[in-house]
Structure 1
Amino acid sequence: MVMWLQENWVVAVVGLVVAVVLLWFLFGRTRAEPAETPVAPPAEPRKPLEPVKPDIVAAEPARFKPVEPAPASIAKAPPPRAPEPVAATPPPPPAPEPDIAPEPVAGVANPEPAPPPPAEPAPPPVAKIDNLQLIKGVGPKMVALLNGLGVTSFQQIADWTEADIVAIDPQLGAFQGRITRDNIVDQAGYLARGDKAGFEAKYGALGGEL
């Protein structure tokens, strides 16, 4: 390549110049030329405004419309007022009647109110009848004596106090002293409560059913 340039340098120089000219031509044409600003033509001087002449119109004679008399207003009569309500007068209270006792009739005694009838006594409560022979030491004869005294249940005997025992014991005849000796009151307490197990644990097997 270098040898060719040494031999043909004239051709290379000419080619280079041609290339530079072409480039200048191409790039110089594409460069945008500055746009010229349009110059507005000078404005013509305005003529002075001429005054506008008014059109003269012949005036017509005025026409007067006769004024009609206003109709006389008819005064309306005010509506009649409603009568005011009259307060109802309460009737006067009745005059109290004088307390005048009836005059006694001669020869006739004033009847007195009959006394109320006496209240009937309440019937005595019916005592429960238990098998008193379930108590150890109480037989048929002693049961008959107790029934004669009004004792028919275990609860009655369980409620006896020392005073009751002192009053009842002499009335038992041949069985006197047995109430305390056989613990009849304590036995009756177990039986009145229905505590069969407690009774049998303390006094032995029960001789029947409660």
Structure 2
Amino acid sequence: MSSEHDSDFLFADEQDAELKPAKASQPGWKILIVDDEPEVHAVTRLALMEMVFEGRGIEFISAHSRAEAEAAIDANPDVAIVLLDVVMETDDAGLQVVNYIRQHAHNRFTRIVLRTGQPGHAPERAVVLNYDINDYKSKTELTAQKLFTCVMSALRSYRDIIEVDQARQRAEAEVAELKQQLQQLKQG
């Protein structure tokens, strides 16, 4: 599905000089790009390929339809970010993917960023209120720098959520161990 502004999504050269980050030393953060337009996949990869966050680069996974996105989510439950088009094979395919991630896969950790070239098909206010997404962007507003900022923010959120969940799991394990020790003391 194309819009009259698709060419705006092809990133212009950024004027600000940026230092190239050190090469990643660990497996990359997984970013799932879901869009029926191959150009969107290409420019997203180009804009983010040098990105390194906490010693980890980016591992890109591509899906071009709702079915491919759902299969990718099932195969990669540790996807940090989904950059998700709304209008693909149907007007609400992307919104169905959101429901699949949150309700079927029971994944609350992955950050979901809706990117749409046709905001009229999925008005921002209604989507934000009715779907468990983390950001909503019009493709026409995303420069390479704004995409970088959006992804960096989402990675930080994902990292923090994972750290909180790991701390919760450690605390639960400690409580279970203390309960076991208490039971042994009562029996002994």
Q: Which of the five TM-score ranges fits, normalised by the shorter chain?
A: under 0.3
Query: Structure 1-normalised TM-score?
Result: 0.14
Q: Which has the higher strand share?
A: 2
Query: Structure 2-normalised TM-score?
Result: 0.15
Q: Which has the larger radius of gyration?
A: 1
Asked which structure has the greater RCO (Cα within 8 Å, sep 6+), the reply is 2
Q: Which has the higher helix share?
A: 2
